[in-house]
Amino acid sequence: MGKQRRKFETGFKQQIIQEVESGLLSVSAASRKHQIAGSVIDRWRRQARQGGLDTVPSAHERLLAWISTERNSPKN
């Protein structure tokens, strides 16, 4: 069987893009640090420039938003 495809949250992708774009890390250094192929980081950078970096939140991000809303909503 092949490897299972990993999924990354939008915030994580944006963090890596910021590290690379700010000059803090090169693509290859970010790739090694986060154990992600450089081509994946390049794809995320391209998608971010085009405005298409996961505009739909992941299931985990939706769950976190729901939990936050529940915590902050007044109880009856």
Q: Kindly report the pTM of this predicted structure.
A: 0.68
Q: Which residues lie below 8 Å from residue 53, measured CB to CB, with a gap of 6+?
A: 10, 13, 14, 17, 44, 47
Q: Which residues lie below 8 Å from residue 9, measured CB to CB, with a gap of 6+?
A: 58, 60, 61
pLDDT in tens, 6-62: 888 888 999 999 999 999 999 999 999 999 999 999 999 999 998 887 666 667 777
